[in-house]
Structure formats: structure tokens, C-alpha cells
């Protein structure tokens, strides 16, 4: 059984509310009816109260490499007995440090646990936060110069594996929720520079005709209220076409101008897997996009930072894939604005997970209601130097190591053999009237009320 299963068996996600009284009674047996729950020696040694529920809430800042984990969030259900997650590993360490008592193992809702983000399998985080009621009264005994918060940071770093690093523990308000009080999230995507020195070649008349036709059709329907579906005709790689590329000069300004088409409020339903119930929850707001060249761990890379309120599952990886296709020349320049329409169905590729990581979340809304110095601001600047050291020593080398394999060459080959203009070559217009005409919800109003930290992105 995985450590995730040992920690939580059916505990509520984010722990925003206490379990029902009935459920709490079922999970707590009377001392007269059974022996006291067994407590590991490590917890006994720190003398943590057995029944006391901590009153003080804390936020914990940490970073991790996602390579060895099946995403951040603890998983449940068939086939997850041996699945390790970042959240499960963190909770293991908090139990061992005495910050969570063993008697609360089946009553995790009492601790009001929350998380600022969730990432998919293989996606890293330079800095993220979890919040909850943790017990720190037993820490820093006999060490007056060391705060309890700093003592917990040191203890967690002793207990955590090398691919997870704790940066800070700070006291927060009683109503703090890391998910709902996270105002924005910043992600970074790192690509090998050689990938963007390529250009797709339209080397025959048939390719040029198909590309030109799709470009004209999409351009003419950017403001259309018709329902339009773009599908592929035929089967097999490139319908028999063999794609080729040629060398070109790298132009980060062109790439940034392409990516800026995502800024603002848009419907990203074409940038996440199709799921029932997502019809009115795919509106998202992108604050900013920046592109720059860097040299990290001895490799020349292009770094793309995307800041948004929240992100859908796989959204950033699909955003990056389409932007690369426009840049490489396998998709027309109008492909991004056309794909962002809620009435258009478009096939989009997905970029490798290896280049993506959560840089850090922002807590602007929380910082307006906290009361320093008792409950200080949550500001990235306080941990920036530690995060930068973690990025340079662990995170960037992990990403650059993927350049040595065939992940990126395989992905480029797939784009070239199955380019956007062929994957969406059949342009079908249904001519239906637009939604929102008679009292229906507009795309902006239909946005999900609670932001998801999808990346997940």
C-alpha cells in the first residue's frame, strides 16, 4: 500500500470544511471500547497531545521535482495502491515531524488542509504552498534563538527526500485557504533553443493549397457566430505527406507576439481534453506572457513565463504546442484567435510535460486581509533566493536532462508529420445562431467561480 493510502483514505479534497458529526463519531472510538491508537515512537518522543486539534493555521512554502511522482494530489481508487504523490510525501513528513498527530490520520478534515496548486505527473514546482492547522508547540524547545516555524522548516528538510525542498513556514489567519486565496499563478515553460531554429517547409503544391485554404477560412470566420468544426480527412501520418524542416534564425520577439494572443479573457475549451460538464467552466484570464533566451545548466534554452488567474488541465502545454506550430509554420497566424472561440472545435497538439513547472503563486487578496506581524504577508520575495537556488541546482538540470533524450525530437517529428493545417483541414460550418442571444450566459459570466490550479497546466 502506498504512503498516500496510509495517510488519507477518502479524506475530502482541500479540507475546507469539517466532516459531519456522524462521520467524526464513526472515525473516533471511545477509549473504554478499544485501546488507544498506536503512535509511532517518533511522535511519542516529541510529546504531541493525542486529541488536541491545533488552533493555529500555517502556510508552508516548498518546491519539488515532479519526475518521480504521479502528480501533486493524493489519488484514490483502483490501481492507486502504489502511486506516490508529492502531497502524500509532504504529509508523511508532517506526521513524522509531529506537526500532524497520529490520532488525526482519519480526521484530516479537522486540520482544514488546502493547497495553492495541483500539477500533473512529471510537472515540477519551483514554489507552491499548502495550508492547514499544524502543531508546532513541541518544536524549538531549548533553542530560544530558533522560532518554531524555522524549526519545522529544518525538521521537514531532514525528513523529505532530496527532490522536495521546504522554504518557509509562516502563521496565517484562521480563514486562510491556499486555493481560494491564491489570486494568480505563474508558470514557466522551458524549450531547447534548437527546436525554435526550425521552419516547416511547404514543399509541394498540395500542402501550399491546403495551408492557404485553411488560413483563409479561419481568417474569414474569426468573428463568426457559426458553429465550426475543423477535423482531419483520412488516416495515418500526414495523409501520406512527409514533412520537412529547414534552419532559420531564432526570433524570440516573434514568438512572444504569437503568445500574446492568449492574453486577456478567453474560452480555452480547445486547450483541455473534452469532458462532460466543462461547457461553462473553460473561461480563463491570462495576465501576461514573456519570452526570453537563457543559458541554464550549460544549455541554450528559451523560457516562456505565463501568468494567469487559474489554468485548466493540460492548458499551458496545449497553448505552447499551438504557439510553436504557428512559429514553426505548421499553423496559420490566425490559428490562436480562431481556436479561442467557444463556438469553434479545433484539434490541438500537446507539448511535453518535461519543460513545464509552476514558478510560484500570488496571494494578493489574502495580503489585503492579513494583519502583520502576527500574520505576515505571503510574498514571494521572502523566499525568492531559496527558490532561485533550488531552480539552479535541481530544477533546471532536471529539465535540461530531458534534452539529451528523444522527448523533444520525437515531439517535433510528430508535429512535422501531423501538422496543424492537416489535422484541421476539413472546415465544417453548421450555421447555428450564437448562444447568449436570449438570456443565456455570456462566456465571461460563465467562468468557473472557484479557480482550479490545473497544471495541471
- Annotated catalytic residues are 120
CB 118 within 8 A of CB 70: no
| Number of other CB atoms surrounding residue 82 within 10 Å | 11
Buried residues in 386-396 as b, exposed as e (16+ CB within 10 A):
bbeebbeebbb
Of 12, 23, 360, 17, nearest in space to 175 by CA: 17
Residue 277 burial (CB count, 10 A) = 6
Give 293's contacts (C-beta < 8 A, 6+ positions apart).
Answer: 193, 250, 252, 300, 301, 302, 303
187 is in an annotated binding site: yes
Distance of alpha carbon 436 from alpha carbon 443, whole angstroms: 8
The answer to whether 314 and 272 have CB atoms below 8 angstroms apart is yes
Compute the Cα dihedral for 3, 454, 168, 372 and give only its sign. negative
The grid cell for 352 is 511535453
Phi and psi, residue 225, nearest 5°? -100, 5
Contact 152, 97 (CB under 8 A): yes
Residue 49 near residue 135 (C-beta atoms within 8 A):
yes
CB 308 within 8 Å of CB 193: no
Q: Residue 33 gets which letter from DSSP?
A: T
Strand runs (DSSP E) across 297-430, as ranges? 299-308, 344-345, 356-362, 426-429
Beta-carbon contacts of residue 393 (< 8 Å; ≥ 6 apart): none
First to last CA, the chain: 29
Q: Which of 284, 265, 269 is nearest to 448 (CA)?
A: 284
DSSP state of 311: B
Spatial separation of the C-alpha atoms in residues 256 and 350, rounded to whole Å: 19
Nearest to 232 by CA among 220, 245, 241: 241
Question: Which residues fall in the annotated binding site for substrate?
Answer: 187
Amino acid at each position: 500500500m502506498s504512503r498516500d493510502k496510509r495517510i488519507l483514505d477518502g479524506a475530502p479534497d482541500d479540507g475546507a470544511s469539517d466532516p459531519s458529526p456522524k462521520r467524526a463519531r464513526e472515525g473516533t472510538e471511545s477509549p473504554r471500547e478499544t485501546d488507544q491508537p498506536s503512535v509511532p515512537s517518533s511522535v511519542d518522543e516529541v510529546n504531541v497531545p493525542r486529541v488536541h486539534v491545533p488552533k493555529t493555521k500555517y502556510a508552508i512554502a516548498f518546491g519539488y521535482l515532479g519526475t518521480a511522482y504521479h502528480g501533486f494530489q493524493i489519488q484514490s481508487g483502483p490501481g492507486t495502491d502504489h502511486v506516490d504523490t508529492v502531497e502524500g510525501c509532504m504529509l508523511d513528513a508532517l506526521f513524522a515531524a509531529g506537526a500532524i498527530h497520529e490520532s488525526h490520520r482519519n480526521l484530516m478534515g479537522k486540520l482544514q488542509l488546502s493547497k495553492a496548486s495541483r500539477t500533473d505527473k512529471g510537472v515540477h514546482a519551483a514554489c507552491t504552498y499548502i495550508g492547514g492547522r499544524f502543531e508546532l508547540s513541541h518544536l524549538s524547545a531549548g533553542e530560544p534563538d530558533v522560532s518554531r516555524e524555522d524549526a519545522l522548516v529544518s525538521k521537514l528538510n531532514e525528513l523529505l527526500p532530496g527532490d522536495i525542498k521546504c522554504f518557509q513556514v509562516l502563521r496565517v489567519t484562521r480563514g486562510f485557504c491556499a486555493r481560494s486565496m491564491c489570486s494568480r499563478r505563474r508558470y514557466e515553460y522551458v524549450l531547447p533553443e534548437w527546436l525554435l531554429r526550425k521552419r516547416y517547409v511547404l514543399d509541394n503544391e498540395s500542402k501550399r493549397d491546403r495551408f492557404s485554404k485553411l488560413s483563409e477560412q479561419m481568417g474569414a470566420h474569426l468573428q463568426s457566430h457559426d458553429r465550426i468544426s475543423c477535423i482531419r480527412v483520412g488516416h495515418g501520418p500526414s495523409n501520406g505527406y512527409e514533412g520537412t524542416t529547414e534552419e532559420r534564425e531564432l526570433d524570440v520577439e516573434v514568438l512572444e507576439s504569437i503568445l500574446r494572443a492568449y492574453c486577456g479573457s478567453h474560452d480555452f475549451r480547445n486547450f483541455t481534453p473534452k469532458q462532460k460538464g466543462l461547457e461553462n467552466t473553460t473561461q480563463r484570464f491570462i495576465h501576461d506572457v514573456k519570452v526570453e533566451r537563457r543559458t541554464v545548466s550549460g544549455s541554450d534554452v528559451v523560457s516562456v513565463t505565463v501568468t494567469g488567474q487559474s489554468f485548466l488541465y493540460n492548458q499551458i502545454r496545449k497553448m505552447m504546442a499551438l504557439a510553436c506550430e504557428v512559429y514553426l509554420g505548421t499553423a496559420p497566424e490566425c490559428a490562436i484567435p480562431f481556436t479561442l472561440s467557444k463556438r469553434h472545435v479545433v484539434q490541438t497538439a500537446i507539448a511535453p510535460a518535461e519543460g513545464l513547472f509552476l514558478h510560484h503563486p500570488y496571494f494578493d487578496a489574502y495580503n489585503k486581509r492579513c494583519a502583520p506581524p502576527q500574520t505576515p504577508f505571503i510574498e514571494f520575495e521572502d523566499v525568492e533566493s531559496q527558490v532561485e537556488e533550488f531552480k539552479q541546482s535541481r530544477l533546471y538540470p532536471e529539465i535540461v536532462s530531458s534534452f539529451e533524450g528523444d522527448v523533444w525530437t520525437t515531439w517535433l517529428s510528430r508535429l512535422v508529420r501531423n501538422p496543424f493545417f492537416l489535422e484541421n483541414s476539413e472546415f465544417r460550418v453548421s450555421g447555428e445562431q450564437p448562444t447568449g442571444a436570449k438570456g443565456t450566459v455570456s462566456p465571461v459570466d460563465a467562468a468557473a467561480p472557484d479557480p482550479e490550479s490545473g497544471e495541471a497546466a
